[in-house]
Chains A and B, each alone.
Chain A
Amino acid sequence: MKRRGFVMALAASVAALGFMGLDRSQANPLPAPAEKPILTITGKIGAKNKDDAAQFDRSMLEALGMVRIETTTPWFKGTVAFEGVPMDKLMQHVGASGERVVAVALNDYSSEIPLEDFKKHRVILALKRDGEYMPVRDKGPLFIIYPFDSDPDLKSQTYYGRSVWQVARLVVK
Chain B
Amino acid sequence: MSRIKLLLVFISGCLVAATVSLAVLIAQRQETLREVSRYNTSWLASQAVAEFTRLEQRISAFGDPDSDVDQDEVELRFDILMNRIKLLGDGEFQDFVRRDPERGDIVERLVAAAAAAEPLIRDIEKPGVPAKLLALLTPLDRDLALMASAANRYGAERVSEDQHELLRLHLTFSALSGGLAIFGFALILVLGRQNQVLERAQADLRQQNARFDVTINNMPHGLAMFDAEARLIVSNRRLPLVLGLSEAAPLTGLTLEEMALQAEAEGRTGKAVLLRDLAAALAGASSESLLHTLPDGRTLSLSRSLMAEGGIVWIFEDVSARIEAQTKREQLEEQLLQSQKMEAVGQLTGGIAHDFNNLLTVILGNAEILVEEADPNTQELARMILEAAEQGADLTQKLLAFGRRQSLKTEHLKLGDSVSGMTPLLRRAIGEHIDLRTEFSGGSAYALTDRALLESAILNLVVNARDAMPQGGTLTIKTGERQAAKGEPNLAVGTSVVYLTVSDTGTGMSPEVIARAFEPFFTTKEVGKGSGLGLSMVYGFAEQSGGHVSIKSKVGQGTAITIVLPAAHAPRVEQDDIEDAKPAARGEERVLVVEDEPHVLQFVSTQLRRLGYRVTAASTGAEALMLLQQRSSFDILFSDVVLPRGLSGIEVARQARSIDPNLKVLLTSGYPEEVFQQHGRPDEHTQLLRKPFKSKDLAAALRETLDAQPRPASQPVLAS
The tally of residues in B whose CB lies under 8 Å from a CB in A reads: 13
Does residue B80 face the partner (Cβ distance < 8 Å to A)? Answer: yes
Does B80 contact A136, Cβ atoms closer than 8 Å?
yes
Contact A137 B47 (CB under 8 A): no
Which B64-90 residues have C-beta < 8 A from chain A? 72, 76, 79-80, 82-83, 86
Q: Are B37 and A166 in contact (CB under 8 A)?
A: no
Q: CB distance A157 to B82 under 8 Å?
A: no
Give min CB distance, B83 to chain A, whole Å. 5
Q: Does B38 contact A (CB under 8 A)?
A: yes
Q: Are B37 and A107 in contact (CB under 8 A)?
A: no
Let me know if B51 is at the binding interface, CB within 8 A.
Answer: yes
A-B interface contact total, Cβ < 8 Å: 27
Q: Given known contacts A36-B72, A106-B80, A107-B51, what 19 new A-B pairs fall within 8 Å (CB)?
A: A74-B37, A74-B38, A106-B76, A107-B47, A107-B50, A107-B54, A107-B80, A135-B79, A136-B76, A136-B80, A137-B79, A137-B83, A137-B86, A138-B86, A139-B83, A157-B37, A160-B37, A166-B80, A166-B83
Contacts of B79 in A (CB 8 A): 135-137
* A 102-123 binary contact with B (CB < 8 Å = 1; else 0): 0000110000000000000000
| Most chain B CB inside 10 Å of its own CB: which residue of A36, A107, A138 | A107
Contacts of A107 in B (CB 8 A): 47, 50-51, 54, 80
Are A138 and B83 in touch, CB under 8 angstroms?
yes
B residues in contact with A74, CB < 8 Å: 37-38
Residue of A nearest to B51 (CB): A107
Closest A residue to B47 using CB positions: A107
15 A-B residue pairs with Cβ-Cβ distance under 8 Å, sorted by A, are A36-B72, A74-B38, A106-B76, A106-B80, A107-B50, A107-B54, A107-B80, A136-B76, A136-B82, A136-B83, A137-B79, A137-B82, A137-B83, A137-B86, A138-B83
Q: In angstroms, how far is the closest chain B Cβ from the Cβ of A35?
A: 12
CB distance from A162 to the nearest CB of B (A): 14
What's the least CB distance linking A64 to chain B, in Å?
A: 24
Q: How far is the CA of A160 from the CA of B34 in the complex (A)?
A: 12
User: Which residue on A lies nearest to B81, using beta carbons?
Assistant: A137
Q: Which residue of B lies closest to A165 (CB)?
A: B83
Residues on the B chain within 8 Å of A36, using CB: 72
A73 CA / B545 CA spacing, docked (Å):
136
Residue of B nearest to A168 (CB): B76
Give every chain A residue within 8 A of B50 (Cβ-Cβ): 107
Most buried by A among B37, B47, B79, B86: B79
Would you give the shortest CB distance from B50 to chain A, in whole angstroms?
7
What 5 A-B pairs are tightest by C-beta distance, nearest first?
Answer: A136-B79, A137-B82, A137-B83, A137-B79, A106-B80
State A138–B83 Cα separation when bound (angstroms): 6
For the complex, give the distance between the alpha carbons of A36 and B75 in Å. 14
A contact residues around B83 at 8 Å (CB): 136-139, 166
Interface string of B2-40 (1 = CB under 8 A from A): 000000000000000000000000000000000001100
In the complex, which residues 122-173 of chain A have their Cβ closer than 8 Å to any Cβ of chain B? 135-139, 157, 160, 166
- CA separation between A160 and B80, bound complex, in Å? 20
A75 to chain B, nearest CB (A): 10
- Inter-chain CA distance A94–B72, complex, in Å, is 26
Contact with A along B567-594 (1 / 0, CB 8 A): 0000000000000000000000000000
A166 CA to B47 CA, complexed, in Å: 13
B660 to chain A, nearest CB (A): 150
| A51-84 contact mask (Cβ, 8 Å, vs B): 1 or 0 | 0000000000000000000000010000000000
Q: How far is the CB of A134 from chain B (nearest CB, A)?
A: 10
| Residue among A36, A135, A137, A166 having the largest count of chain B Cβ atoms under 10 Å | A137
List chain A residues, Cβ under 8 A from B54.
Answer: 107
